[in-house]
Chains A and B, each alone.
Chain A
Amino acid sequence: MTELLYGRRAASTVGANAPVLDLNRSDELEIKDMHVYYVLFETPMDAALARLPTSLHPAIPAHFGITFWRAKESAIGPFELAFVGLACRSGIKPRHFIHGAFASTQEAQAYFSAKYGFPCRLAEVRQRELYDRIEGSIACDGRTILEVITTHMQPVVGAGATVKYSPALCAAETSAGRKLVQLETSYQFARVMRGTPKATVFDAEALGDAAIKPAFPMSGAHAITTAMLHPPRFMVDPGTPAESGGAQKLPR
């Protein structure tokens, strides 16, 4: 009997206290001059399999992403957002299953919770571009729980001057039941840089999963973009095994 590799977590444990989403909305949010800082680290496979529900395959090697957004202006005001997610697959498409999210303003916290299911906490989120590094940090109640620095930055030029962000999947209550809903974002890139990341502060438990920790650096990328946040288009049933499920497109 062939074994298949997918998450080992019971679906019933996914998304407790998940926000309620309206899947029938059509509004979009454009954010100009948005700075995106995206850091990837490998993490032990056992931790990934324990985190993921049976509806998701792990990525191999197991890895997770930390994403920082800094919007100087937007329809929900200026904000900074950070989210942490484990790389996974539903079908062939890479995604990040989000287990921690932090917003700098109440407006952003409410927006990303209500629109996409991000488990947002209010926090001090900071993304800084210095002469020799990119820094990202999250502090909750005055205590820094994450600080990640990327150095040796090099511009990424030509046709490859993009970053392929894996879409975020968040647990949410919907009219179809509890689902994993995908954040749909498209980007126009004005500038991309890449370097080597290092986590100088990493409180895994405070970030949402005590077992998901950096084991090996992959890349750190900083981009200046115009981002368009679209309504959800895909969702995954957390209780349907990966082999018979996969991401489903929402009817429009």
Chain B
Amino acid sequence: MKFGLIYELSTPRPFTRETQKEVFENAIDQAVLADELGFASVWSVEHHFLEEYSHASCPEMFLTAIARATKNIRLGFGIATCVPNMHHPIRWAEKGATLDILSGGRVEFGTGRTSTWNELGGFNQRPEDTKRAWEEYCRVIPKMWMQERFSHDGTFFTMPERNVLPKPWQEPHPPLWVAVTGQGTELDAADRGMGAMILSIADVERNIPRFQAYRERIKTCEPVGAFVNDQIAVANWLFCHPDKDYAWKRGEELVGTFGYMAGQTTEISEAYPSSNYTAIGLLGTLRADPHAQDKKPLASGLCFGDPATIIDAVKRWEAAGADHLVFMVQARETLPQQEVIDSLKLFAKEVMPHFSGEKKKAAGGAR
């Protein structure tokens, strides 16, 4: 089992420049500490126009800042959005390779296609095209990295023969991932030999069938890259504290804040009836029953608690088949920075040693 951090860069109102800078600087400081503590990876989402929820619109720049301040931790695009009106695939190949060079070969290249009307509407992108565009992007980007000269005549873009530069440091190319929210996307990842980054934070037990389906399906995959990345990473929350009850209370605050922020976004499925956006996304999965009258129990696999409680949760994820837990540790600066730092240190000291090979794998790359 490996551990990582994932950043939305959620930002409290009012959006002053000081507040915005503090969010970015705190996150970078946490990532630098995580590198020293032996975490395996740090990931950045890519979102646009998501007020409060996520101000991480330029993951390649955020990750580059971390890259230059760290030594071992791997740097994940979680995700590089493969939507034509947002990014040209050539630009993603260039940016991914550049970060790979600047980081000494530490890039994990996650792909995806956005799930909100805020974003697709803002870029005037037809939602019905995004899945097919993603399909085209994830097949051509590895070729741009590996082939000296590349040309393409496709549905969403065409280019004459060019040498897409620079080439990545990692040979043959960085590991490829897919962000998995909707049911069945894990099979899309498996079919293409890509790692599954499970973003629908939910009970361990509810994820077991999709883990099993992914493992079975990837046995017969046709990889879009030069190799199969058969890892399952799961997004989760982390707040580790000696006082279990205090940790849980803080955890509820984090999840509640996240729900408040995420709840105001407009998912494609509620804005634009479409066959390729059927999932409820991240929101509903945080709570067992969004219609329940009583206080809602949080999903069972969240890592809130004292070290013993979290060890138990991690072991359950491990037994279920997850390779990598990727933690959100902050939401709209709800927690003081020192509490986040203390939580990471306690986790590294008391929890990580129970999962053998963590530091070794971290130093040797995520694959």
Which residues of A does B touch, CB under 8 Å? 2-5, 40, 42, 57-61, 63, 87, 89, 91-94, 154, 156-164, 166, 192, 194, 216, 218-219, 221, 234, 243, 248-249
- Which chain B residue lies CB-closest to A165? B270
Q: Are B275 and A156 in contact (CB under 8 A)?
A: yes
Q: Are B117 and A93 in contact (CB under 8 A)?
A: no
Q: Are B263 and A219 in contact (CB under 8 A)?
A: no
- Which chain A residue lies CB-closest to B128? A154
Q: A3-B14, A61-B117 are in contact. Are A164 and B269 (CB under 8 A)?
A: yes
A5, A94, A159, A218: the one contacting B278 at CB < 8 Å is: A159
Q: Is B262 an interface residue (CB 8 A)?
A: yes
Give the distance in Å from the alpha carbon of A87 to the alpha carbon of B265 in the complex.
Answer: 11
* 13 more CB-based (< 8 A) A-B contacts, given A2-B12, A160-B278: A3-B12, A4-B13, A5-B264, A89-B264, A93-B290, A94-B266, A160-B269, A160-B275, A162-B273, A192-B273, A218-B121, A218-B271, A221-B273
Q: How far is the CB of A172 from chain B (nearest CB, A)?
A: 19
Residues of B with C-beta under 8 A to A157: 275
Q: Are B332 and A2 in contact (CB under 8 A)?
A: yes
A61, A160, A166: the one contacting B270 at CB < 8 Å is: A166
Q: How far is the CB of A237 from chain B (nearest CB, A)?
A: 14
- Which chain A residue lies CB-closest to B291? A249
13 A–B contacts from the bound complex (CB under 8 Å): A42-B121, A57-B263, A60-B51, A60-B118, A60-B264, A61-B122, A61-B266, A160-B277, A162-B278, A166-B270, A218-B272, A221-B273, A249-B293
- Which chain A residue lies CB-closest to B124? A216
Give the distance in Å from the alpha carbon of A143 to the alpha carbon of B270 in the complex.
Answer: 32
Q: Which of B259-313 contact A (CB under 8 A)?
A: 259-260, 262-266, 269-278, 283-284, 287, 290-293
Residues of B with C-beta under 8 A to A163: 273
Closest 8 CB pairs of A and B: A249-B293, A160-B275, A3-B13, A92-B263, A2-B12, A160-B278, A219-B272, A158-B275
Q: How far is the CB of B254 from chain A (nearest CB, A)?
A: 14
Q: Are A5 and B270 in contact (CB under 8 A)?
A: no
A4, A219, A249: the one contacting B260 at CB < 8 Å is: A4
B259, B265, B270, B276: the one contacting A164 at CB < 8 Å is: B270
Q: How far is the CB of B184 from chain A (nearest CB, A)?
A: 9
